[in-house]
């Protein structure tokens, strides 16, 4: 028979001191999560008992709270097959791999969604470059995790783009490492970080230059706007507004030239960085990635990291 959630709880890093009542918990700097075995309500009226009263069901309830909350909120359920990993357990594994490469983390930005069940933590590193087209660009390692099984734990690589006083962050879907690979040795994780840092240093400038010099066709633009409108017309309007600021007419009254791939990428990333819904944000980042001109060597390295 498959090993149950309860049998695996301690090995997954959950507190099992209250396992006698089917309760398993975890707490870190970001908040707390409790998993509880669900059961049918027992009868409270004599003579109205049913054979299913008090029966355990193969579903585990999720309850979460932030460090400042008093009460836990119900946040859904998982099956017995769910594989738990604590947010900061995962983050610390990635931090250690980054330290082993010798790249200081400048800052982290952890955001949560879906009743604290989804985390995205952006680790912005030193080792950035300055480009004439895009200004200061820094490498980013992005850690995703979920407590409800709706998204596997992942590690992805990306860019942080400084814009006046704000910073816009983008993560590649190409090169994303899933939980099965993150669970490998620290040496393999450090090697992946080192590979990305090398390709960032060598190829980011080429990617920006080629994307800046490539114009988006009308068909590409219409197809992309259709995709964005599919997740909300207001979002498409806001992206178009940002794009107009980045690609104004050369003369008053003149028809704007088609935007470059880089301008469209930048408009999408600036908007997606403000999007609180992590599912929508990922869709916008995928759209942004689709318009980039990624140099062959960089593409090959990112593709290998995914395997």
- In tens, the pLDDT along 220-235 reads 888 888 888 888 888 8
Q: What is the mean pLDDT of residues 82-92?
A: 95
Q: Is the pLDDT of residue 165 over 80?
A: no
* Cα 291 to Cα 18, 47, 170, 249, distances in angstroms: 51, 68, 13, 21
Question: What's residue 250's pLDDT?
Answer: 66
Global pTM?
0.91
Q: Please report which confidence band the pLDDT of residue 176 belongs to, taking 50, 70 and 90 as the band edges.
A: very high
Cβ-proximal residues to 125 (8 Å cutoff; 6+ apart), any chain: 98, 103, 104, 105, 106, 138, 139, 140, 141, 197
Question: For 94-137, how does the pLDDT look when each residue is reduced to its tens digit (9 = 90+)?
Answer: 999 999 999 999 999 999 998 999 999 999 999 898 888 888 99
**pLDDT greater at residue 186 or residue 129:** 129
Share of the chain above pLDDT 90, in %: 66
Question: For 257-292, how does the pLDDT look when each residue is reduced to its tens digit (9 = 90+)?
Answer: 889 999 999 999 999 999 999 999 999 999 999 999
Question: What's residue 253's pLDDT?
Answer: 61
**pLDDT greater at residue 164 or residue 145:** 145
The Cα 160–Cα 128 span in angstroms is 9
Question: What's residue 218's pLDDT?
Answer: 84
Question: What's residue 146's pLDDT?
Answer: 96
Q: Is the pLDDT of residue 295 over 80?
A: yes
The Cα 16–Cα 225 span in angstroms is 50
């Amino acid at each position: 028979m498959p090993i149950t959630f309860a049998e695996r709880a301690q090995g997954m890093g959950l507190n099992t001191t209250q396992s006698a009542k089917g309760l398993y918990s975890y707490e870190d700097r970001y908040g707390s999560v409790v998993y509880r075995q669900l059961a049918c309500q027992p009868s409270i009226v004599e003579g109205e008992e049913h054979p299913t009263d008090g029966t355990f069901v193969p579903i585990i309830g999720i309850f979460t709270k932030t460090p400042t909350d008093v009460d836990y909120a119900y946040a859904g359920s998982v099956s017995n097959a769910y594989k738990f990993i604590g947010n900061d357990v995962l983050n610390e594994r990635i931090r250690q791999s980054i330290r082993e490469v010798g790249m200081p983390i400048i800052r982290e930005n952890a955001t949560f969604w879906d009743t604290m069940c989804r985390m995205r933590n952006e680790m912005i590193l030193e080792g950035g470059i300055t480009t004439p087209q895009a200004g200061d660009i820094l490498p980013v390692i992005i850690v995703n995790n979920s407590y409800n099984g709706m998204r596997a734990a992942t590690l992805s690589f990306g860019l942080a783009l400084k814009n006046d006083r704000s910073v816009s962050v983008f993560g590649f879907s190409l090169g994303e490492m899933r939980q099965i690979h993150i669970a490998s040795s620290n040496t393999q994780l450090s090697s992946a970080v080192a590979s990305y840092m090398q390709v960032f240093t060598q190829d980011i400038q080429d990617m920006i230059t080629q994307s800046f010099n490539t114009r988006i066709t009308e068909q590409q633009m219409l197809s992309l706007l259709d995709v964005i409108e599919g997740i909300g017309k207001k979002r498409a309007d806001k992206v178009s507004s940002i794009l107009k600021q980045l690609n104004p007419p050369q003369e008053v009254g003149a028809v704007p030239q088609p935007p470059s791939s880089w301008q469209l990428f930048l408009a999408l990333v600036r908007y997606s960085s403000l999007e609180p819904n992590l599912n929508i944000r990922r869709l916008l980042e995928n759209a942004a990635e689709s318009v980039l001109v990624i140099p062959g060597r960089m593409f090959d390295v990112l593709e290998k990291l995914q395997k």
